[in-house]
Chain A
Amino acid sequence: MSERKDEQWLDDQLRQVVNGATPVLDAEQWKRKYSREYQTLLSRSRESGQPNTGASRIVRWVRESSIRRFAVAAVVVGVVGVLLIGRLGPDTQRPVTGSSSIAQSPDKMMTMMSLQAAYRQGGTEALDRQFDQALRMLGPRTTSMSLKELLEG
């Protein structure tokens, strides 16, 4: 993690990712929090439909049952979650499957923690790949330097 986050935010993030419990959707709270995105979705569905078209029949069908309403809300949440990726930033969408060598700086790739993670993910082959990648970025590189360059102040 490159940024310092407070514990509460972290706890919430961790709970979302690792808690095995089934999430309970508070649709009204969600609608209040993402009102703009909700209105966008609603206006699109209004534009596409006539009063007696298939779309309005579907909407009436959904409204008839609370279970159907929650199911549709869950789908909307999923879609809006995708739309919000850019807004929230890459950190919350970063894969949690272990340190990705691509995402790390080369010096981080050489820490014990990172090397152990690479080994756990893919054994000696993954370790070698991480070594090669880090060496390509880190060097060393032989540099030729004239005596003048070496001595100039």
Chain B
Amino acid sequence: MRVKKDTSVVRVGCMAVVLLVAASSAFAYPPDPDNAAMLYYQAFLLDKQPDEATSQLLDDFVKGTVGPSDKIKEYVQGCRSTINYALMATEREHCNWGIAYSKGFSASLPHLAQCRRLSKLMLADARLLAAQGAYREALDRCLSTKKLAHHVGDEIVISFLVVHAIDAIADDCIREILGMMPPDPQVLQWLKGQLMIVSTPQPSFARSLKLEQEMALDIMRMDRLDELTEILTGDIESKAKGLPAKIDEEFLAKNREYYVRYMTAMQATLAAPMSYDKKYAELTTMLDRMTEEAGRSPDAVLTAAFAPALNKVYGIDAKAQARANALRVGVELLIAKTQTGALPDRLPANMPKDSFSGQDYLYEKTDAGFVLRCQGKDLDKDKLYEFEFKLK
């Protein structure tokens, strides 16, 4: 009886010890950061800067002008930790770079350069995976790059532009990988779903203007005259003509008023339900009028210095939308091909539209695959875009 009791006590004691160890190990590690920027910064710190030749080779490889080489493979493999931390970061929903916006236009944005570099590294990895036949992983890498793009954020115009720049090369990479892989309905359906997810929410041009407007108004103050002067004398040839002999509070007040009126009118135009060409024309007219007024009235001088060329940025946004929509249409056509065995003769109904014209893309089958052409021209570049999809 005593032996039985002792055995039970030992058994219970062992179980208690096991439970205690299990419970303590569950709380042994602090959680990984949920702010993606913390992981990106670690990726940046782990990054090995390539020499100039390797950097050029990397750029060419990402653009698709050269094929994979041992040098590229070695370099990308050497950056594996960087890529892994970046991939962890792209899985986070939230990204706060901790920018000191209180510093206004003097705020440093070193993460933009690093994000640009990181995006090229990830897309190089994607192309290497595709070259090995790992198409789904390759596409996944491209989608992660698009997530990185969206993490860059749209708080300010320059970030908004970098978002689109990274998105552009990621979309081009996806199109090329689709041309390399044999048609796989599961992968295509998965890609279709993922493209919807990573594109939501869209980067907002209106949002980026809002913060910049606050920063510009904040710097048009007497107690920030030094900073204002530094900005103006750095860009004065093209912008701030007609400065008065003395910048005083009256000058600043009038310039603030003009700036607010101008930006309000521009933003109202941007928000208005108008076709691309009409909106672009109106934005250009307003910009030209402001530039001309800045040449003869001191009230518009600071607006000329600080207001971005909104017509051009609007054009970049429209181009990004056109490219993204073309990719989604292309994927739909490829899905249709896997279902019927051949490309459809015309576009399916309810496809995303060409953002320049608001119409369907012009669709043409070619020997290599098919082409989607915009019906509306990019008025800023005077160009009609087309997106080629090659088929294996």
Asked whether, in the complex, the Cβ of B109 is within 8 Å of the Cβ of A135, the reply is no
B21 contacts the other chain (Cβ, under 8 Å)?
no
Asked whether, in the complex, the Cβ of B229 is within 8 Å of the Cβ of A1, the reply is yes
Contact of A111 among B49, B105, B157 (CB under 8 A): B105
B-contact 0/1 string along A105-133, CB 8 Å cutoff: 00100111101110110001001101110
Which residues of chain A (1-56) have a CB below 8 Å from chain B? 1, 4, 7, 10-11, 13-15, 17-18, 20
Which residues of chain B (235-253) have a CB below 8 Å from chain A? 235-238, 240-243, 245-247
B53 contacts the other chain (Cβ, under 8 Å)?
no
B220 contacts the other chain (Cβ, under 8 Å)?
no
Which residues of chain B (43-91) have a CB below 8 Å from chain A? 44-49, 52, 55
Chain B residues near A127 (CB, 8 Å)? Answer: 158, 161-162, 165
A11–B245 alpha-carbon span in the complex (Å): 6
Asked whether, in the complex, the Cβ of A110 is within 8 Å of the Cβ of B48, the reply is no
Chain B residues near A130 (CB, 8 Å)? Answer: 113
A15–B242 alpha-carbon span in the complex (Å): 8
Asked whether, in the complex, the Cβ of A1 is within 8 Å of the Cβ of B246, the reply is no
Stretch at the interface among A59-67, A68-76, A136-144: A136-144
Asked whether, in the complex, the Cβ of B309 is within 8 Å of the Cβ of A112, the reply is no
Closest to B157 in A: A116
Main secondary structure of the interface of B (DSSP, over half): helix
Chain B residues near A117 (CB, 8 Å)? Answer: 234-235
B231 contacts the other chain (Cβ, under 8 Å)?
yes
Chain A residues near B116 (CB, 8 Å)? Answer: 128, 131
Asked whether, in the complex, the Cβ of B108 is within 8 Å of the Cβ of A111, the reply is yes
Asked whether, in the complex, the Cβ of A142 is within 8 Å of the Cβ of B48, the reply is yes
A93 contacts the other chain (Cβ, under 8 Å)?
no
Chain B residues near A107 (CB, 8 Å)? Answer: 108
Contact of A120 among B106, B107, B109, B309 (CB under 8 A): B309
A13–B110 alpha-carbon span in the complex (Å): 32
Contact of B243 among A14, A96, A112 (CB under 8 A): A14
Asked whether, in the complex, the Cβ of B236 is within 8 Å of the Cβ of A18, the reply is yes
A115–B106 alpha-carbon span in the complex (Å): 10
B156 contacts the other chain (Cβ, under 8 Å)?
yes
Contact of A110 among B104, B109, B237, B308 (CB under 8 A): B109
Closest to A140 in B: B45
Of B110, B245, B246, chain A has the most CB atoms within 10 Å of the CB of: B110
B114 contacts the other chain (Cβ, under 8 Å)?
yes
A65–B157 alpha-carbon span in the complex (Å): 58
- Per the CB 8 Å criterion, the residue count for chain A at the interface is 39
B117 contacts the other chain (Cβ, under 8 Å)?
yes
Closest to B99 in A: A112
A10–B240 alpha-carbon span in the complex (Å): 14
Asked whether, in the complex, the Cβ of B112 is within 8 Å of the Cβ of A115, the reply is yes
A4–B227 alpha-carbon span in the complex (Å): 11
Asked whether, in the complex, the Cβ of B109 is within 8 Å of the Cβ of A136, the reply is no
A97 contacts the other chain (Cβ, under 8 Å)?
yes
B350 contacts the other chain (Cβ, under 8 Å)?
no
Asked whether, in the complex, the Cβ of A10 is within 8 Å of the Cβ of B229, the reply is yes
A96–B232 alpha-carbon span in the complex (Å): 10
B229 to chain A, nearest CB (A): 6
A99–B234 alpha-carbon span in the complex (Å): 5
Chain A residues near B237 (CB, 8 Å)? Answer: 17-18, 96-98
Asked whether, in the complex, the Cβ of A14 is within 8 Å of the Cβ of B236, the reply is yes
A37–B131 alpha-carbon span in the complex (Å): 70
A116-B308, A120-B309, A140-B47 known; A131-B117 Cβ under 8 A: yes
Asked whether, in the complex, the Cβ of A124 is within 8 Å of the Cβ of B165, the reply is yes
A116–B236 alpha-carbon span in the complex (Å): 14
Chain A residues near B165 (CB, 8 Å)? Answer: 124, 127-128
B251 to chain A, nearest CB (A): 12
B202 contacts the other chain (Cβ, under 8 Å)?
no
A96 to chain B, nearest CB (A): 5
B21 to chain A, nearest CB (A): 30
A131-B113, A139-B49, A141-B49 known; A111-B245 Cβ under 8 A: no
Asked whether, in the complex, the Cβ of B114 is within 8 Å of the Cβ of A135, the reply is yes
Asked whether, in the complex, the Cβ of B231 is within 8 Å of the Cβ of A96, the reply is no
Chain A residues near B161 (CB, 8 Å)? Answer: 119, 124, 127
A8 to chain B, nearest CB (A): 9
Closest to B240 in A: A18
B24 contacts the other chain (Cβ, under 8 Å)?
no
A10-B229, A14-B233, A120-B309 known; A134-B106 Cβ under 8 A: no
A10–B230 alpha-carbon span in the complex (Å): 11
Asked whether, in the complex, the Cβ of A135 is within 8 Å of the Cβ of B117, the reply is yes
A1-B229, A18-B242 known; A110-B106 Cβ under 8 A: no
With A110-B110, A135-B114 given, name 10 new contacts (CB 8 A). A7-B246, A10-B229, A13-B233, A14-B233, A110-B112, A113-B105, A115-B112, A117-B235, A138-B110, A142-B47
Listed by A's residue number, 10 A-B pairs whose Cβ atoms lie within 8 Å are: A1-B230, A10-B229, A10-B233, A15-B245, A17-B237, A96-B233, A111-B106, A112-B104, A119-B158, A142-B48
